[in-house]
């Protein structure tokens, strides 16, 4: 027997297998376009994230080189805005303004440059939120300001008797990062970014894992009973269908929470061994109120996902089909907000696209988590409110599916329908 018929047979069997067809062939067609769909608007805007940024300029010198430095800032694409600082608190001005940074040109700036000495300019970078996009934004602004220093060097190089070392860096920048009404040295910003990844990303990723797990568990629970034909027997008992639905939701929640506890314990142990933040003056620690709010957010996300899992189990005919259908429902709804959170955030998208993304319930899981970490309580309540609406809608739909004969007759086939012989 030749190889061709055997190869044809193997391909038919493999491609008729739902697990392989969905997991290997179809899922990449869904996941990678989603990634490109998410990242493309962010990438297109990354090149100019600092181009329109306003920078407050406190010119205490008033000399020609101070004016030259302001012009150099403008050439880099920044928008320098001169202000007069008298009795005002500069940090408060930065917080209340739209500016992303501030520089203080000290008195004697021009004189020091004329004497071939390096003056020190104070730089303040405002970190508005704990997101990847925000860290990228202030990093871009910082790079532009350092580019302005290099432009100053080029201007000074046209004068006589300028040392090469002075030409490369004619100004010393003393940088600080402003976050939550506090400041820390710019040298600690890298540690702050590491802490952001270790704590701010740990919580959302853990939530995503437990939410995904709970939906799969709920779908498996229904699928097992449909496959074993025990669901029909259970429905003959004098038990309200709402009680059956509640038991499945609660049972799946317990299993998912056990998995979460194990996951969190392992991740916390990992980060405690790998990451150290000694001497940090700013932290992303959670207060008792924040922990309570985080539990509320997780609860509504869990219930929503459990409802979706129950729907997947009702629509599918067996365990494998339930798991696959649950994955097909959950992956796009969860992956898209997670990618946005890890990249540019919802604010990096155009308004129509941002509106579509905000319809997804798990977008509000990510945004509520970030708001909790930033202690933005009004935003927390808004996002929880949206999640409550979704929870009621999904559970209401699940309860509707449990009524009448729909629970026994509805079925979605993911595999190829076999022809009768």
Residue 374 in any domain: the answer is: yes
Residue 48 in any domain: the answer is: no
φ, ψ of residue 101 in degrees (nearest 5): -160, 170
- How many domains does the structure of the chain reveal? 2
Token duo for residue 38: 């998410």
Residue 257 exposed, middle or buried by CB count within 10 Å (0-12, 13-18, 19+): middle
Token duo for residue 69: 């430095």
Residue 109 predicted with pLDDT over 80: yes
Could you tell me if 90 and 143 lie in one domain?
yes
Instruction: Work out the average pLDDT over 145-174.
Output: 76
Tell me the per-residue pLDDT of 71-100, one tens digit each, with 9 for 90 and over.
988 888 888 888 887 655 777 777 777 888
Q: Please say whether the beta carbons of 231 and 314 come within 8 A.
A: no
Residue 7 in any domain: the answer is: no
Structural domain including 292 reads: 194-409
Residue-level pLDDT at 282: 45
Q: Please say whether the beta carbons of 367 and 379 come within 8 A.
A: yes
Tell me the per-residue pLDDT of 286-296, one tens digit each, with 9 for 90 and over.
677 877 787 78
Residue-level pLDDT at 273: 55
Residue-level pLDDT at 281: 44
Residue 43 in any domain: the answer is: no
Helix (H, G, I), strand (E, B) or coil at 178: strand
* 175, 179, 182, 187: CA torsion to nearest 10: -30
Which of these ranges, 32-41, 126-135, 202-211, 327-336, has the smallest mean pLDDT?
32-41
Tell me the per-residue pLDDT of 246-265, one tens digit each, with 9 for 90 and over.
777 777 667 666 766 665 56
User: Alpha-carbon distance 402 to 167, whole Å?
Assistant: 76
Residue-level pLDDT at 277: 42
Could you tell me if 166 and 291 lie in one domain?
no
């Amino acid at each position: 027997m030749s190889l061709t018929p055997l190869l044809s047979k193997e391909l038919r069997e493999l491609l008729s297998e739902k697990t392989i067809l969905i997991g290997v062939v179809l899922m990449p067609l869904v996941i990678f376009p989603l990634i490109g769909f998410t990242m493309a608007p962010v990438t297109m805007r990354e090149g100019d994230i600092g181009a329109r940024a306003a920078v407050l300029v406190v010119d205490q010198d008033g000399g020609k080189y101070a004016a030259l430095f302001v012009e150099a800032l403008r050439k880099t694409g920044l928008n320098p805005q001169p202000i007069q600082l008298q009795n005002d608190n500069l940090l408060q001005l930065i917080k209340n303004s739209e500016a992303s940074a501030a520089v203080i040109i000290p008195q004697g700036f021009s004189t020091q440059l004329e004497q071939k000495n390096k003056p020190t300019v104070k730089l303040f970078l405002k970190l508005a939120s704990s997101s990847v996009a925000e860290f990228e934004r202030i990093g871009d602004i910082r790079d532009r300001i350092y580019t302005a220093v290099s432009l100053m060097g080029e201007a000074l190089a046209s004068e006589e008797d300028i040392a090469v070392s002075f030409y490369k860096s004619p100004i010393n920048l003393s940088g600080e990062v402003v976050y939550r009404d506090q400041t820390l040295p710019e040298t600690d910003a890298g540690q702050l970014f590491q802490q952001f990844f270790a704590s701010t990303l740990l919580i959302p990723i853990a939530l995503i894992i437990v939410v995904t797990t709970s939906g799969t568990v709920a779908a498996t629970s229904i699928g097992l009973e449909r496959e074993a034909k025990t669901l029909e027997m259970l429905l003959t008992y004098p038990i309200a269908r709402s009680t059956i639905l509640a038991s499945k939701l609660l049972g799946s929640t317990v299993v998912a929470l056990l998995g979460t506890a194990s996951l969190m314990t392992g991740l916390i142990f990992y980060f405690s061994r790998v990451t150290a933040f000694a001497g940090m003056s700013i932290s992303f620690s959670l207060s008792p109120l924040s922990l309570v709010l985080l539990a509320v957010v997780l609860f509504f996300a869990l219930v929503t996902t459990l409802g979706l899992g129950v729907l997947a189990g009702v629509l599918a005919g067996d365990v494998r089909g339930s798991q696959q259908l649950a994955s097909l429902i959950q992956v796009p709804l969860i992956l898209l907000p997670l990618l946005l959170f890890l990249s540019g955030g919802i604010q990096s998208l155009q308004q129509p696209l941002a509106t579509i993304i905000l319809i997804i319930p798990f977008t509000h899981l990510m945004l509520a988590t970030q708001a909790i970490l930033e202690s933005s309580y009004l935003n927390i309540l808004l996002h929880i409110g949206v999640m409550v609406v979704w929870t009621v809608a999904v559970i209401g739909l699940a309860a509707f599916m449990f009524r009448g004969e729909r629970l026994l007759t509805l079925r979605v086939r993911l595999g190829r329908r076999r022809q009768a012989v």
